[in-house]
Structure 1
Amino acid sequence: MESDVIVVGGGIVGLTTAVTLAERGLRVRVWSRDEVTATTSAVAGALWWPYRIEPVAEAGAWALASLRVYGELAGDPGGTGVRWVDGVHADTVLDGLGAWAREVPGLRQLSPEEVPGPYEVGLAARLPLIDMPVHMTWLRGRFEAAGGVVERRVVSGFGEAAARARVVVDCTGAAARELVPDPAVRPVRGQLVLVENPGIEEWFTSADTGSSETTYFFPQPGRLVLGGTAEEGDERLVPDAATAAAIVARCARVRPEIAGARVLGHRVGLRPARLGGVRIEAVPLPGGGRLVHHYGHGGAGVTVSWGCAERAAELVEA
């Protein structure tokens, strides 16, 4: 066989898994339907924070493992796209977070007068903020430097990959609903607005996991990313003008100067959520091969990618 492993899916989960395996000395290929900079991952905000992901206990450990990696990558922000940035999580109470939060340095509960906008509760944090187009390009380069190969390929099942590698890793995200098939996979639509940054240097979020509307802005190089939505079951990929206007209005309640910022563009992505949470599981294939399912990361694929990659690699090598 020409490869030890074929990873199907070229988003953040697929690429971090492929890097992890290739740097362990395995011959790895990534089969991706899209260019890595055109995947759903490239649309992400993307702030490190466990958001809309289950199971909670495992997700916390995966997130912390990834935080350590991002902390190292932030030493070269121009190359990796990872920077440490200060900001505020509104409507968030430190005591209401999981055990993982105790291991995140610098989290601080704010007094009501410190919380920006129409909020009375908030948490200050300094976290990795990732410029995803830059980061995805860097990840692909790291993978190829380790001997990996990326191929553009559309698959209708895992049999073709299984014929060419002893292990196939399914990092197909929302597409796992049809490919596995897994009816528990449910796309969650996220819409963003990109505007000229009017001088904002800190990120802000207010994200009620029970609501389809969220409010956040992330200062990225050359733009300010405004969000957002979390519309379960909505698979429209075309930006909605009314939704975009509502996003700008919500963000302007926190920072009024956003209201007059020139719009640079719009983005839509489908978060690969799954009832029951992330699935990382190995199943046998005909002929003695192995299929490792690795999908269902919801809105936290960036946050947990490196920790999940380690777990998937364990199953590949078992």
Structure 2
Amino acid sequence: MKTSAGMEKIARNDLAGFRKKAKTIRESILTMVHQANSGHVGGSLGATDPLVALYYHVMDHRPDHPDWEDRDRFILSKGHCTPVLYSVLADCGYFPMSDLATFRRPGSHLQGHPYQPKTPGVEASTGTLGLGISTGVGMALGAKIRNQGHYYYILCGDGEIQEGQVWEAAMFANKYKLDNVVGIVDRNYLQTDGNSEEIMPLDPLVPKWESFGWHVQEIDGHDYLAIIDAVTEAKAVRGKPSMIVANTVKGKGVAFMENVVKWHGTPPDNDEYNKALKALENGI
């Protein structure tokens, strides 16, 4: 199965295909951040598997026609993790892979946070934490008013959802019964200054979202079948928005980066970069 751009979509049970694609994306993330000597590598590596499942299996989108009206929309509410989004968009064909080398350079359309007017495939300018989900539910209401059938997939960070406007957006989505919204919390328990439960406790997270009127599931965010099945269930829900709490590992795929808060926003030096690429290649 292919999109109109010729991008190969991955069959649900092709786990080897998902892993191969995720390895490619993670290599791009490491290279972008290393070359720029700036960027958020840990959260991008951790969020790779949900984005691979969405873009290469779940979402209806056309890289050769990024403004197609009926496309599903993905919004990166944790806007600092652009390396994973840009890597996926380039691999899908929204813009040339060579553009990734311009990441965070002056004049580049690939800045540290997504800028919708300049970058094909980016649906919303985000970066101020909480802004993406607030924007996304507003866009989803507009689609409802216009009787459009596409979905809004919104990826939030767990540190991000300490922001008050996230919960205002949660109430808004419940009030307007936005069943075209499928949110994902990237639950890795780490943020820039430490463990989220020490900084501002979020648990129990599932009943929190349920109390705001959302349909909630909790999954392993690195299990492709679990991600796909959770989205399928969410899309079957009528009359309320859905949230998927995806338990992930910050720095996933590179053992020395996994669950280490340093890698929230620290770029790898030459030795660390080569070590990370080797770890990905060897699956360690």
Task: Specify which structure has the bigger relative contact order, considering alpha-carbon pairs within 8 angstroms and separated by 6 or more residues.
Answer: 1
Give TM-score, length-normalised by structure 2: 0.29
Which structure is higher in strand share?
1
Computing the radius of gyration from Cα coordinates, the structure with the larger value is: 1
Give TM-score, length-normalised by structure 1: 0.27
